[in-house]
């Protein structure tokens, strides 16, 4: 009887600890461009679009992939080099899955670039629990997706990489992050905001390849998040949009803008 009571008490303590952990905070590290490291309230680590080593704006002290630490899952929004980046190298080194557009992952498996177990497939509208308590949903993104890979002779070859996507990431405590990937404005952003109700959006503002600050402000007002973190700007001469222009375009919007520099760590 006493042993059963002690066992039940221990189980209850573990359950309470799990609840407390899930009610904790999420930590986001922005490398630069669209690359983030999310440490969830439950201690899981998610990398998104990890273009790190060759990204010009990533702080030098963050470029050593061996110092990233434990990774549980990698998310890639599309096949362009500034998003696919170092994801395959990290996936193979740590033996962790890389979730991305179904067409991209299928091509990587077919080409022998990744084993099937590291390249799970899903598609727009699908939801998957990628680590216990953390779910991702793929959304539409208004962009393109190709990848340039080396063939057996070392020649760069362009391959199709499925449909570009964004990710709604729902953490253990219910906090929702919408990484929009590379995208232009599309009408269903309003629906995404109404249905998924993201707390934080990671939104491209650079222009030329993605939304400029004015477009991004309009998109933000469609989605109506609590917070917005402008990304994907200043890494090349075409990405001229700035956070100051984005904030000016938002005007009196109640959305909290996180005006950060590469290397910034924020807790939510």
Tell me whether residue 142 is in a domain.
yes
Would you say the pTM of this structure is higher than 0.85? yes
Tell me whether residue 60 is in a domain.
yes
3-state secondary structure of 110: helix
Tell me whether residue 203 is in a domain.
yes
pLDDT tens across 57-74, in order?
999 999 999 999 999 999
The string over 191-212, giving b where at least 16 C-beta atoms fall within 10 Å of a residue's C-beta and e elsewhere, is: ebbeebebbbbbbbbbbebbbb
Q: How many domains does the chain have?
A: 1
Tell me whether residue 14 is in a domain.
no
pLDDT tens across 168-198, in order?
999 999 999 999 999 999 999 999 999 999 9
Tell me whether residue 15 is in a domain.
no
Tell me whether residue 4 is in a domain.
no
Tell me whether residue 10 is in a domain.
no
Tell me whether residue 11 is in a domain.
no
Residue 52 contacts residue 255 (beta carbons within 8 Å): no
Q: CA 17 → CA 33, 41, 83, 171, distances in Å?
A: 36, 12, 36, 16
Residue ranges making up the domain that contains 263: 25-267
State the CATH number of the domain containing residue 121.
3.60.15.10
Q: CA 170 → CA 5, 58, 135, 139, distances in Å?
A: 35, 26, 5, 13
């Amino acid at each position: 009887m006493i042993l059963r009571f002690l066992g039940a008490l221990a189980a209850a303590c573990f359950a309470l600890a799990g609840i407390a952990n899930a009610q904790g905070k999420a930590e986001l590290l922005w490398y630069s461009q669209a690359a983030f490291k999310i440490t969830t309230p439950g201690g899981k680590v998610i990398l998104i679009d990890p273009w790190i080593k060759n990204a010009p704006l990533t702080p030098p002290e963050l470029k050593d992939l061996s110092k990233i630490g434990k990774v549980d899952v990698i998310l890639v929004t599309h096949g362009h080099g500034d998003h696919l980046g170092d994801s395959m190298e990290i996936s193979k080194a740590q033996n962790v899955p890389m979730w991305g557009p179904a067409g991209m992952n299928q091509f990587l498996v077919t080409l022998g670039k990744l084993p099937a177990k590291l390249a799970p497939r899903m598609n727009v509208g699908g939801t998957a629990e990628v680590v216990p308590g953390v779910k991702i949903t793929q959304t539409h993104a208004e962009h393109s997706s190709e990848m340039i890979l080396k063939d057996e002779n070392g020649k760069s070859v362009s391959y199709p990489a499925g449909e570009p996507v964004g990710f709604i990431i729902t953490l253990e405590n219910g906090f929702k992050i919408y990484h929009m990937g590379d995208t232009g404005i599309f009408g269903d952003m309003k629906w995404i905001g109404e249905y998924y109700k993201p707390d934080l959006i990671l939104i491209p503002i650079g222009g030329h390849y993605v939304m400029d600050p004015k477009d991004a402000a309009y998109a933000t007002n469609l989605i109506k998040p609590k917070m917005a973190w402008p990304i994907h700007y200043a890494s090349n001469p075409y990405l001229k949009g700035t956070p100051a222009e984005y904030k000016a375009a938002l005007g009196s919007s109640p959305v909290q803008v996180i005006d950060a520099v590469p290397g910034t760590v924020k807790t939510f």
